Amino acid sequence: MPNHKIKQAPPALLGKGLAYCYFHSYSTAAAAPALFIVRCVQCQKKALMEIQETDDIDILLTLHPHGWSSCCIYVRDFKYEIIISHVFSDPYFDFIRALSSIINNQDHTDLVWYGEPGGEKIEISRLKDKKDKVAITISSFQESFGEEVKEYKKAAVFQMQVRQLILISYYQLKKIFQLLKDSEYSKNRHQDFPFQEYLKFEKLAQEYLKIL
């Protein structure tokens, strides 16, 4: 599991009052609207990633053995990582459901990825004035599965094109689907991926992206 111990900001950021942990690294850009806000749940330190319009966004999904996954979100030179447990839910099924809702022109959808303990709630909302873009809000919580969540703490907020979100997510899911065809890779992972739901999503995504 990640180490959230705080260390001093690198020399380039000294004097800007910015701290960051070993797990998350932060940078700033002066005089830009704050579109990306990050809080590390363990260390409770908050930093701002001030970003103007950008398409420099990527998502990396990794299916680890023994019931764990991770999702790394990159916005320019910023990285935010979510550690996901498969014990309490089917995280890929929930992700596919949320993506399918957006493809089917739903204005808002959300999903919850649990850790052990805590987790993240991810909300995806179409912009009212730009229907081809979505705002993605990630809120963290500390309660364990089954407990009432008393407080969601906003961890990250950013915007991206709908097509970009679907394209990146589709190929990340496709990557895992193809890797699971290998018997050695599939060992200790096979039961943690919703194959039938993915195949339905693949058809939907290909039609939406026009990559048949």
Q: Looking at the domain assignment, is residue 40 inside a domain?
A: no
Angle at 47 between CA 54 and CA 149, to 5 degrees: 100
Per the document, the length of the chain is 212
What pLDDT is attached to residue 53? 61
Question: Nearest-CA neighbor of 1 among 144, 115, 156, 120?
Answer: 115
Show the low-confidence residues of the chain (pLDDT under 70): 1-53
- Total number of domains in the chain: 1
Structure tokens at 162: 């709908």
Q: Looking at the domain assignment, is residue 127 inside a domain?
A: yes
What is the rounded distance in angstroms from the CA atom of residue 163 to the CA atom of residue 161? Answer: 5
Question: Nearest-CA neighbor of 61 among 192, 210, 201, 196?
Answer: 192
What is the rounded distance in angstroms from the CA atom of residue 173 to the CA atom of residue 156? Answer: 22
DSSP collapsed to 3 states, 59-98? EEEEEECCCEEEEEEEECCEEEEEEEECCCCCHHHHHHHH
What pLDDT is attached to residue 168? 98
**Domain CATH number, residue 75:** 3.30.2450
What pLDDT is attached to residue 103? 98
Structure tokens at 18: 């910015």
What pLDDT is attached to residue 28? 35
Q: Containing domain of residue 109, as a range?
A: 53-209
What residue ranges in the chain does DSSP mark as E strands?
6-8, 19-21, 36-39, 46-49, 57-64, 68-75, 78-85, 108-114, 119-126, 133-141, 153-161
Tell me the backbone φ, ψ of residue 119, rounded to 5 degrees. 165, -170
What pLDDT is attached to residue 62? 97
What pLDDT is attached to residue 119? 93
Q: Looking at the domain assignment, is residue 32 inside a domain?
A: no
Q: Looking at the domain assignment, is residue 33 inside a domain?
A: no
What pLDDT is attached to residue 116? 87
